[in-house]
Amino acid sequence: MKSDNKNIRHLSLPALQEYFGSIGEKPFRAKQVYEWLWLRHADSFEAMTNLSKELRQKLTEHFSLPAVKVDTVQQSNDGTIKSRFRLHDNHLVEGVLIPTDSRQTACVSSQVGCSLSCKFCATGYMDRKRNLDYDEIYDEVALINQQAQETYGKKLSNIVFMGMGEPLLNYKNVLAAIERITAPDGLGMSPKRITVSTAGVAKMIRQLGDDKVRFNLALSLHAANDKKRSEIMPINDSNNLKELIAALNYFYKATENEISFEYILFKDFNDSKEDADELIKIYRQVPADLVNIIEYNPIDMARFQKPEAKTAEEFMEYLAKNRVNARLRRSRGKDIDAACGQLANKG
C-alpha cells in the first residue's frame, strides 16, 4: 500500500539532488537513485543495492515507491500476452503484449475505466475510477518490455495507447510518461514508435499540436458520419467530425507527425459501400497515412456482430480501388479477451 510519504518518482532529478544535499549526501547519489527509479526500474528501495543500508532506510522513511505489480498473466494461443496490473490502491488495469515477426507492441491503459461509454467497448461499460499517474503508465510499459524480453528475447519496438481509458483526458500524465519512456535515462524508445489513440477530443488534439509532440496520433473513427458515430460514441455529440477534421489538420500542420484512423467493421452498421464512400471522403480531408480496418471482437454487453469475411474483403478492395492506404488488422488474443475493445470484458 502507498504510504502518506511523497512518491519519489514525482521528483525531478534536480529536486532529488536538492533533497540529497539537505541530508548531507553527495549529489551523485541522487543520480544513482534516479537511475534505479527509471533506467533500472527498481520496484523497492531495498532493490537499490549499491546504496548503503542507512540510506535505503532513510529513503523508505521519507518517500514512497508505489510500483505497479503484475497481478495475473494470460497467454493466447497466438502468442499475445495479456497482463492485469494491480495499482497501489488495488485498482486493476490491463495491458497487452502483441508479438509479430517484426514487432513487439505494447498496448497500454491510461485510466482505470473510462468515462466515454463507447458502445462496442467493454471498458466503456465501466465507470472511470481515476487517471493513471505517469509513473504507473511507465511501469506498465517497463513490465511489458520485460515480458517481451523474457518470452520472445526481444525488446518492445512499439507502444500504442489503445488500452483502457481515453489518453487525451489524462493529458499531463500521458505526456509525462512518454517523456520518461523516450528519455535516454528512461526506456530510450523513439517517439516515432509510439501512437496515442483518441476517441476524439478536438481541443486536446490541438493542444498536442501546440505542444509539438513527436509521437503519432490515431483517431478511433469507427463511423464516418455524425449520426452513426454519435450512436456508438457519445463523445461525437460534443466533438463532431467537422471539428475533429479541423483539429487533425491543425495537429499535422504543427507537427507533421503520422496520423492514422481506426475503423472497426460492424456487420450491417458501417460495412456498406456507402459507408466506405463516407470514409474515403473523410480520409481525403486529413493528411492521414493509414486506415486500420479492425475486425470486431464481440463482447458480452454489446449487440454488434462481426461482418462476413467476404464483406470485409469487398470493403478493403473498394478502399484500395479508391487509393486509400488501408490495412485489415486481424484480431489478436481473442481467446483471452485481449483483443481490441475487449479489455475488462468478463470482469
Binding residues for [4Fe-4S] cluster: 114, 118, 121
Angle at 246 between CA 317 and CA 280, to 5 degrees: 10
Q: Which stretch binds ligand SF4 (CB under 6 A): 59-67, 119-127, 132-140, 317-325?
A: 119-127
Q: Which residues contact 251 (CB under 8 A, 6 or more apart)?
A: 205, 206, 208, 209, 217, 257, 259
- Using CB under 6 A as the binding rule, whether residue 81 contacts ligand SF4 is answered as no
What's the chain's length in residues? 347
| C-beta closer to ligand SF4: residue 114 or 217 | 114
- Using CB under 6 A as the binding rule, whether residue 126 contacts ligand SF4 is answered as no
In the list 199, 217, 219, 265, the residue contacting ligand SF4 (rule: CB under 6 A) is 199
- Using CB under 6 A as the binding rule, whether residue 221 contacts ligand SF4 is answered as no
If residue 149 lies in a helix (H) or strand (E), which one and from where to where? helix 134-152
| Parallel, antiparallel or unpaired: strands 290-295 and 326-329 | parallel
Which backbone phi and psi does 165 adopt, to 5 degrees? 100, 165
- Using CB under 6 A as the binding rule, whether residue 219 contacts ligand SF4 is answered as no
In the list 65, 87, 97, 114, the residue contacting ligand SF4 (rule: CB under 6 A) is 114
Q: Residue-wise over 190-204: b if at least 16 C-beta within 10 A, else e?
A: ebebbbbbbbbbbeb
In the list 116, 181, 189, 302, the residue contacting ligand SF4 (rule: CB under 6 A) is 116
Binding residues for S-adenosyl-L-methionine: 165-166, 197, 220-222, 297
Instruction: Measure the CA–CA gap between 156 and 106, rounded to whole angstroms.
Output: 7
Half-sphere exposure of 188 (CA within 13 A, CB side): 7
| C-beta closer to ligand SF4: residue 165 or 333 | 165
Give least dist CB 120 to ligand SF4, A. 7
In the list 25, 140, 166, 275, the residue contacting ligand SF4 (rule: CB under 6 A) is 166
**If binding means CB under 6 A, how many residues of this protein chain bind ligand SF4?**
11
- Using CB under 6 A as the binding rule, whether residue 165 contacts ligand SF4 is answered as yes
Q: Is 94 a catalytic residue?
A: yes
Among the listed residues 25, 94, 140, 262, the single catalytic one is 94
Instruction: Measure the CA–CA gap between 178 and 264, rounded to whole angstroms.
Output: 26
Q: Which stretch binds ligand SF4 (CB under 6 A): 97-105, 161-169, 262-270, 322-330?
A: 161-169
Q: Is 207 exposed, middle or buried, given 0-12, 13-18 or 19+ CB atoms closer than 10 A?
A: middle
Among the listed residues 25, 262, 295, 340, the single catalytic one is 340
- Using CB under 6 A as the binding rule, whether residue 196 contacts ligand SF4 is answered as no
- Using CB under 6 A as the binding rule, whether residue 204 contacts ligand SF4 is answered as no
Instruction: Measure the CA–CA gap between 336 and 129, rounded to whole angstroms.
Output: 24
| C-beta closer to ligand SF4: residue 162 or 316 | 162
Which residue type is seen at 198?
T
Give least dist CB 241 to ligand SF4, A. 16
CA distances in angstroms from 318 to 91, 279, 282, 308, listed in the order given: 44, 11, 15, 16
Give least dist CB 170 to ligand SF4, A. 11
- Using CB under 6 A as the binding rule, whether residue 200 contacts ligand SF4 is answered as no
Q: Is 7 exposed, middle or buried, given 0-12, 13-18 or 19+ CB atoms closer than 10 A?
A: middle
| C-beta closer to ligand SF4: residue 31 or 119 | 119
Give least dist CB 193 to ligand SF4, A. 21
Please compute Rg for the chain using Cα positions: 21
Residues forming contacts to ligand SF4 in the complex (CB under 6 A) are: 114, 116-118, 121, 123-124, 164-166, 199
